């Protein structure tokens, strides 16, 4: 079985931070080729976010902050290459379909190389431009291990752990008067 990344949306933030968000479940590639030979200073804010941290959905050409490692078949791989080749020809000016297919083959092969992890592993990308070259770093986020004896709702270990640091100086007390804040907020609203 082959493995390839698919877009995933854990919350609606992709629809706000990118110019166009990928639909969840699209086959994905890195997408860095979109920024090749472009000056980052000429990009809009949402395009810069895509440059810094987006995976490209093959169908929509939208962006996703995360991708998920998913099992695929040879038929899926072939469909990915064909779809991306058509996109390269129609939207990015590839000189002919054969050149587009070669470019798509490279992109899909690179996407597959990112998936040398168990299925359901999340992938994140961080890009930077240095001396006109795009550099990519990929991270993985794996599901937490199940805590022994825990029920389905509480199956994972704590989200946070606390560590004592030797020589740490205790800071000022963090007491907050919530009732006082509410009363102050009410008084300021009554004045307006």
What are the DSSP calls for 136-180, one per residue? Answer: EEEEEE-PPPBPTT--STT-BPPS------TTPPP-------HHH
Task: Reduce the DSSP state of residue 66 to 3 states and report it.
Answer: strand
Quick one: pLDDT at residue 173?
Answer: 47
Per the domain annotation, does 89 fall within a domain?
yes
Per the domain annotation, does 165 fall within a domain?
no
Per the domain annotation, does 190 fall within a domain?
no
Per the domain annotation, does 189 fall within a domain?
no
Give the total number of structural domains in the chain: 1
Per the domain annotation, does 123 fall within a domain?
yes
**H helix intervals, 36-156:** 45-53, 74-92, 97-113
Contacts 24+ apart (CB under 8 A), 151-157: none
Per the domain annotation, does 79 fall within a domain?
yes
Per the domain annotation, does 40 fall within a domain?
yes
Q: CB neighbours of 63 closer than 8 A, spacing ≥ 6?
A: 14, 18, 19, 20, 21, 22, 31, 49, 50, 54, 55, 56, 57
Quick one: pLDDT at residue 153?
Answer: 57
pLDDT in tens, the chain (192 residues): 899 999 999 999 999 999 999 999 999 999 999 998 888 889 999 999 999 999 999 999 999 999 999 999 999 999 999 999 999 999 999 999 999 999 999 999 999 999 999 999 999 999 999 888 899 999 998 766 666 766 655 555 555 454 444 444 444 444 556 566 555 555 555 555
Per the domain annotation, does 151 fall within a domain?
no
Enclosing domain of residue 107: 2-141
Q: How far apart are CA 90 and CA 183, in angstroms?
A: 60
């Amino acid at each position: 079985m082959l493995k390839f990344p698919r877009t995933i949306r854990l919350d609606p933030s992709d629809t706000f931070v990118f110019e166009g968000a990928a639909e969840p479940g699209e086959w994905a590639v890195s997408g860095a080729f979109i920024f090749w030979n472009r000056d980052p200073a000429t990009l809009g804010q949402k395009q810069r976010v895509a440059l810094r941290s987006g995976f490209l959905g093959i169908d929509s050409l939208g962006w996703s902050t995360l991708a998920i490692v998913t099992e695929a078949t040879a038929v899926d791989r072939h469909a990915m290459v064909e779809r991306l080749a058509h996109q390269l020809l129609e939207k990015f000016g590839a000189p002919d379909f054969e050149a587009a297919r070669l470019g798509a083959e490279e992109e899909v092969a690179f996407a597959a190389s990112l998936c040398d992890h168990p299925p359901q592993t999340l992938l994140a990308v961080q890009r930077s431009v240095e001396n006109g070259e795009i550099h990519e770093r990929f991270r993985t986020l794996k599901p937490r291990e199940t805590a022994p004896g825990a029920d389905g709702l509480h199956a994972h270990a704590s989200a946070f752990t606390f560590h004592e640091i030797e020589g740490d100086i205790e800071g000022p007390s963090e007491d907050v008067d919530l009732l006082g804040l509410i009363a102050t907020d009410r008084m300021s609203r009554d004045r307006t």
